[in-house]
């Protein structure tokens, strides 16, 4: 049986609005123990993704003030995404081809989940080093 992205994705990802500040995004990351938040508009449409690295490299390193800089100014806009019914192999190929560690999952134009490299490792090769590390992180 072919596995779909829905089978391995994390539903209900953490999101922020484009006008949220970098402090807001960083606090979400800290509180949820994650390295990224997805940027969505009021209608739930995916507008971008911002990682902890984006905050440091695109904002702080350039001297931007985290309390006033908006997420929409430093996020990666229009990230590549997959649909929940896409084959897991397609998601893996996209991650490999685009050199990304996570893919937003979009259905009917709305964000419904996220699938990460760690999710894939746990599902496809749980005995690999990445699979074991990712599973341990999920259990903490």
Tens-level pLDDT at each residue, the chain (140 residues): 668 999 999 998 999 999 999 999 999 999 999 989 999 999 889 999 999 999 999 999 999 999 999 999 999 998 999 999 999 989 989 999 999 889 999 999 889 999 988 777 656 554 544 444 444 445 55
Q: Which domain holds residue 44?
A: 5-139
CATH of the domain at 29: 3.10.580.10
**Could you give the strand order of the β-sheet that contains 46-51, starting from the edge strand earlier in sequence?**
15-16, 36-40, 46-51, 76-77
Q: What is the SS3 assignment for 104?
A: strand
d(CA 108, CA 133): 33
Total structural domains within the chain:
1
Alpha carbon of residue 23 to chain centroid: 18
What pLDDT score does 78 carry? 86
């Amino acid at each position: 049986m072919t596995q779909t992205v829905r089978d391995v994705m994390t539903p209900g990802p953490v999101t922020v609005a484009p006008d949220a500040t970098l402090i807001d995004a960083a606090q979400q990351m800290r509180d949820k123990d994650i390295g990224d938040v997805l940027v969505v508009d009021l209608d739930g449409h995916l507008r971008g993704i911002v990682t902890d690295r984006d905050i440091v490299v695109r904002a702080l390193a350039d001297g931007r003030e985290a309390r006033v800089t908006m997420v929409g100014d430093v996020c990666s806009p229009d990230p590549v995404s997959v649909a929940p019914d896409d084959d897991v192999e397609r998601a893996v190929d996209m991650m490999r081809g685009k050199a990304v560690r996570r893919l937003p999952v979009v259905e009917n134009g709305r964000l419904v989940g996220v699938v990460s490299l760690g999710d894939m490792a746990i599902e496809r090769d749980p005995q690999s080093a990445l699979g074991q590390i990712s599973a341990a992180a999920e259990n903490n």
